[in-house]
Amino acid sequence: MKTSPASKALKSVPLIVHRFVFGMPRAALGALAFAAMAAVTGCEAPTAVQSGSDEQHAELTLREGDVVKVSFPGAPNLDVAPQPIRRDGKITLPIVGEIAVVGLTPIALQDQLVKRLADQLQSKEVVVTVVSSSFFVFVDGMVLRPGKIVTDHPITILEAVMEAGGFDYSRADSEKVMVIRHKTGSIGYDYITINLKQVFDGRRTDLFYLAPDDVVHVPQKFSWY
């Protein structure tokens, strides 16, 4: 008779526990086995993990040091040459003057400018272009070159892993790659699990973009002994 992984894990649990679980359903037995392993190994589950089906692409926001260009298709004379966002989080535009832009998405800034200039624009159209933007993401775990990655353009989780040398395929669990992200406007983190194996298998084609300061953790495959 084959020995299930859950039963193997329970070999390290005291006899009293074995007596307690005798006759339990297989699902409950597996759950207890996982809890037992966590107690033995010191593993702790994340406080909040979003499933792959709930993943959302990170919408990058403007940051200090980003270089932006503001153009007005209906009034080219108002176009502004590319300029960096200053340390105070502002840029300067004709007619508008100084405007705080840090924390806004390009689309949000466009909408704000359209509203502020509604009486002065015949064509209610403003285009905000991010000319360059540098930010950091971090990759650790079962990759060949873990560490900090500097990028000047939006980067996907797969691209970040490749920049880190790719997976250590003998040890990496590519089905449970985790993105640890600062919660927007609050203290704490969001945990987003991505199945990158589906990308390599051709079963997934959507792109997951990283946000500044994201940490990508590639876990180790779990082996039963």
Q: Residue 23: which domain range?
A: 5-41
pLDDT in tens, 140-197: 999 999 999 998 888 899 999 999 999 999 999 999 999 999 887 678 999 999 999 9
Q: How far apart are CA 57 and CA 156, in angstroms?
A: 9
pLDDT in tens, 59-90: 678 888 889 999 988 888 888 899 999 989 99
- From 116, 132, 148, give the residue that closes a domain: 132
DSSP alpha helix (H) spans, 42-171: 106-116, 157-163
- List strands edge to edge, sheet with 177-182: 49-50, 189-194, 177-182, 215-218, 135-141, 147-151
| Domain count within the chain | 3
114 located within any domain:
yes
- Helix boundaries (H) for 53-141: 106-116
Same domain, 147 and 204: yes
21 and 30 Cβ atoms separated by less than 8 Å = no
One domain for residues 190 and 164: yes
Domain for residue 223, yes or no?
Answer: no
Contacts of 168 (CB under 8 A, 6+ apart): 142, 143, 144, 218
* Domain end residue (candidates: 106, 132, 158): 132
pTM assigned to the model: 0.54
